[in-house]
Structure 1
Amino acid sequence: MYLQPYVFFNGRCEEALDYYTAKLGAEVTMKMRFKDAPPDPNNAPRPGLEEKIMHASVRIGTSDWMCSDGQCDPKAGSMNGFSLSLTADDAAGAEKYFNALADGGQIMMPFQPTFWSKGFGMVVDRFGLAWMVTVPEG
């Protein structure tokens, strides 16, 4: 069994992928725009979505996840009910990632040593995605 997060960025997927590539070293392993999909007369995309990302696969470190612009619904609520947990190799790297995710976002718990980790922090990034950044104890 294999579990992967699938994140919908409600129209900001390209921007998010560019940011995560630059700041976290993410690698976009596949990207398909709505215009690249075969026509489906029973399920045509809304006009204006042609250049938006229908599906992308992303690798950060050894983890793979997927994302999309979704339906770009202006009435969609914010992302909630989950966080991505990023475990860095060392405290300096974790703090660097945390600060990159906090840039333009909202810090929920500052990055700091805890009783379970040399460094841990929680942040909601500029795209509304919640992250927990940690260093394994050891």
Structure 2
Amino acid sequence: MVQIHPYINFKGTCEEAFKFYQSVLGGEIPYIGRYKDMPPSEDAHAMGEVDGEKIMHMSLHVSKDTVLMGSDIGGEWAKHSVEGNNVQLSINALSEDDAKKIFNGLSAGGRVTMQMEKTFWGALFGMFTDKFGINWMVNYDYNQQPK
């Protein structure tokens, strides 16, 4: 069965927010990835020192089945982020085929913001807004961890 987790975007306060959430909810933060840790890309702009410290991805494992995920956003993405629409639903698929099926099915009639593609972090990943205005992320990790 797939898992669906909330994914929250912030404008530079992701790490502070997650440490606050952890202080209230408990749980573990197993990963904090910063933009400066991303491999260089031909089409990416040079990352400034301040932007490089922002959070590319982090997660708070609140329980065995609940993970709160988030990142800081900037540039073009920040223009479209306002309070209330800064949350996406993130689906972790069980196979590459499931990820593609879910992505293609739920994005039908909507707007794809990032095509499904293999990523540097070892996953197949894509993002879209469905025809009802809900923001989604679909992820399949190639190195699945046994549950």
Question: Normalized against structure 1, the TM-score is what?
Answer: 0.51
Q: Give secondary structure in 1 for the equivalent of 2:73.
A: coil
Q: Which amino acid aligns with 1:65?
A: L
**Larger relative strand fraction:** 2
The amino acid of 1:21's aligned partner reads Q
- Corresponding residue for residue 37 of structure 1: 38
Partner residue in 1 for 2:22: 21
Gaps of 5+ in 1: 83-138
Q: How do residues 1-138 of structure 1 correspond to structure 2 at under 5 angstroms?
A: 1-44=2-45, 46-47=47-48, 48-62=50-64, 63-71=66-74, 73=78, 76-80=81-85
Task: Go from structure 1 to structure 2 and tell me whether the alpha carbon gap of 1:81 and 1:6 turns closer, same or farther (over 3 Å shift).
Answer: closer
- Displacement over 6 Å in runs of 4+: none
Structure in which a larger fraction of residues adopt helix: 2
Tell me which structure has the larger Cα radius of gyration: 1
Cα distance in 2, alignment partners of residues 3 and 79 from structure 1: 19
Give the number of aligned pairs. 84
- Residue identity over aligned pairs, in percent, reads 33
Checking the alignment, whether the CA contact within 8 Å between 2:22 and 2:60 is kept in structure 1 is no
Give yes or no for contact 1:32–1:53 (8 Å, CA) kept in 2: yes
